A and B are shown apart, each in its own frame.
Chain A
Amino acid sequence: MLTSILQALLNGLVSGTILAVPAIGFTAVFAVLRYPNFAIGALATLGAYAGWFANVRLGLPLEPSLGFAFIVAGIGAIAAEWLAIRPLEKSGALMMAICSLAVAIVIENMLRFGFGNDPRGYNVPLMRDIRFGDFRISPQQVENLGVALAIMALLWVLLNFTRMGRAMRATADNPDLARLKGVKPAMVAAITVMVGGGLAGIGGMLVALDSAADPLTGFRLILSIFAAAVLGGLGSIPGAVAGALIIGMAEELTVLLIAPNYRTAIGFLVILGVLTVRPGGLMGEKQTA
């Protein structure tokens, strides 16, 4: 039993790391623009298809395909933001969140229209797992894990050591003060949305690499992404990573401990628990009444 729990935790660690990528995108958009962008799931699907297109149709290797997924999903996010969500800014965050749900439906169905309903497998060799002792891990998972970690490192450098990163953090912290200091909020918002959407796209592609791209790839993730972001504290990037790892492992453990079809309930329970006990999440800002 101990072996199976450890194996499940290992599986959860890998799926949690992949989940962290779109969760960072989601939480970054929330930090700067102050609304939950539920289109992130559909943008992940967009990324999964973009990556598939680059990999299978254009015959590119995985790394350039990841870049392609990032760019296409990022552009998709910017287009959604400017065309649909931003015009509702004055109506408040709730309206923008609802609009993002509508955007998700539109993107998903455009993909359906373009690519059909059948799952699309990437052109990557399916490899047998590597075994060490009683444990096993797939080379693809290791690669995905590496990609996810590299992206997080890159993002960390961007946020901490570049001018744009500082501007993003400043805007998230206090938009008015940032503006006084000469930060252009529109520019920061656009870049955040682009990066957030792009990260979702990469997350979608990583998931699809492990399975296949289909119109619901991102939709299946959205609850876990949201739960991870809420658990970590909406708006906190380290929080999103921690939240994603915990959610990833919790979801795998449920398979062993309770009936697997209750996995979805874990996401809801976490959201409910966090909002009740610690509304700010693990690493979120303090909530003021």
Chain B
Amino acid sequence: MSIQINRRHLLAGAAAGAAASAIITMPGIVRAQAGPIRIGTLTPLTGSGGQYGPVMANVVKTIADEVNAAGGLLGRQIQIVSEDDQTNAEAGLRAARKLTDVDKVVAVLGTWASAVTTAVAPLCWESKTFLFTVSGADSITQLPHNGWLARTQPNTTLQGRKFGEFAMEISNNGKRAFFVMPQTPFTQSTFSNFKAVYDKAGGTAELLIYDDKKPSLRTEVDQIMRFNPDVLFVGGYLTDTTVLVRDLYRAGFKKPILGPGYSINQKLVDAVGQAEAVEGAYSMLPSPQEGSAGWKRVADITRQASPDPFSCQIHDHISMAILAMSQAKEASGQAIRDNLRKISQGGGDRVDNVIDGLKAIAAGKKIDFDGASGPCDFTELGDITEVKFRYEQVKAGKVSLVRIG
């Protein structure tokens, strides 16, 4: 076989090659200008976080639609790509790879389980994609992320201490606390901060890590009963907490129970099927900024009278991502990283929603975003500086507010 090359073919080929290489060597930003700005959500649509993820993704889509209807961002439309992390680190990593490599999103929002966030974070900072998360494990912001992530959930040092103080309060300063939780990236750090409160008061706190896939936790309950605690902390996710609470009731456990808001809530009461078994249990969760404009907006979108903290947090993620890019006049992860703190803190016009924020930025004003979840001020490491907690108790089968503080 012979290939004939004549001058005309050679010239045509060279021209095509030159055009192609010109496109390839064009700065990424010029190429991307044509299409929409893509932002990814990576929430647990399935798995143990499955009750939160779909609602969270929907909040993000609704806010993006509002911005698009108001003319978009930097003259471009925002496109939301929603993936499912299955509340599983390995599945989350695969989905994150798709978001960063295929969809080329500028930011990933809403990773929920700490194990997922820990797995996904390095991928994000390496691909210069900004990561907003609602995970609490201390270790997350201590990763060498170099400013590429921020979280709106208080870390477990703070949560563990607050849990310890609250446990002591509801058990009338009882000195013995038992702490049961499945293995998660924040089990140890939550417990050690919880225990510190008891150590200081001269009490004891004991930890039992259980397997959250076990269909019955009777032997674990026996362990708890043998310790004879004044108060019990349960820190599992909804499914395993259901099993645990039922087994506690059967065993006749009568001491106060408390847990995080994602374990002890109305869904638990419904799943256990017998309100009596959960009656009197306490929960504590980071409180959204109740009554704020963002909070009301999330309540509207989610049709929840009292929207869950994660939906409130992700409302703030998408708002801050958009505002930071608007501030930078550039749509990229780098723009969010470099401008997040310029729009979220440090004084200026207080703004509680993305549309007003965009207008203020366009008018050349310095803004300070306060969201649905709180004031949204971040430390250097990416932790939030200010947070309130919401204390609740199951009374007559309904979760009711004890106090916010």
Q: Give chain A's interface residues, CB within 8 Å of chain B.
A: 4, 7-8, 11-12, 14-15, 18, 109, 112, 117-129, 136, 138, 140, 207, 210-212, 214-217, 220-221, 251-252, 255-256, 259-264
Contacts and interface: CB of A to CB of B under 8 A. Distances in A.
Find the residue from A216, A255, A259 having the highest chain B CB count within 10 A: A255
Contact of B271 (A12, A125, A212, A220): A212
Contacts of B208: 260
Contacts of B213: 220, 263-264
10 contacts: A4-B226, A121-B271, A121-B273, A129-B252, A138-B218, A220-B214, A255-B210, A255-B219, A260-B209, A263-B214
Nearest to A219: B213
Interface stretch (B46-54, B58-66, B320-328, B332-340): B46-54
Interface string B251-274: 110000000000000010011111
A104 B318 CA distance: 35
Contacts of B48: 216
Nearest to A208: B215
A15 B215 contact: yes
A225 to B, nearest CB: 11
Interface string B232-263: 00000011001100100111100000000000
A118 B182 contact: no
A263 to B, nearest CB: 4
Nearest to A4: B222
B239 A126 contact: no
B183 A211 contact: no
A7 B48 CA distance: 30
A118 B270 contact: yes
B290 interface: no
A178 to B, nearest CB: 37
A118 B267 contact: yes
A119 B211 contact: no
A118 B209 contact: no
A207 B215 contact: yes
Contact of A261 (B210, B223, B249, B277): B210
Interface of B: 46-48, 50-51, 182-183, 208-211, 213-216, 218-220, 222-223, 226, 238-239, 242-243, 246, 249-252, 267, 270-274, 276-277
Contact of B46 (A7, A11, A122, A215): A215
B250 A251 contact: no
A127 B250 contact: yes
B274 A211 contact: no
B252 to A, nearest CB: 6
A261 B272 CA distance: 23
B243 A211 contact: yes
A118 B50 CA distance: 8
Contacts, number: 118
Contacts of A259: 209
Given A118-B270, A119-B239, A126-B274, A210 B249 contact: no
Contacts of B214: 220, 251, 260, 263
Contacts of B238: 118-119
B239 A128 contact: no
A118 B51 contact: yes
B242 A220 contact: no
Given A11-B222, A211-B246, 18 more contacts: A117-B47, A118-B271, A119-B238, A121-B270, A121-B273, A123-B273, A124-B273, A128-B252, A129-B251, A136-B251, A138-B250, A210-B246, A212-B243, A214-B239, A220-B214, A255-B220, A255-B223, A264-B211
Contact of B210 (A4, A120, A211, A260): A260
B239 A221 contact: no
Nearest to B252: A128
A256 B219 contact: yes
Find the residue from B48, B271, B277 having the highest chain A CB count within 10 A: B271
A4 B223 CA distance: 8
B51 A117 contact: yes
Nearest to A123: B273
A-B pairs, 7 with minimum CB distance: A121-B273, A117-B50, A119-B271, A220-B213, A263-B211, A126-B274, A211-B243
Contacts of A18: 215
B28 to A, nearest CB: 36
Contacts of B243: 210-212
Contacts of A128: 249-250, 252
Contact of A211 (B50, B216, B251): B216
A4 B227 CA distance: 13
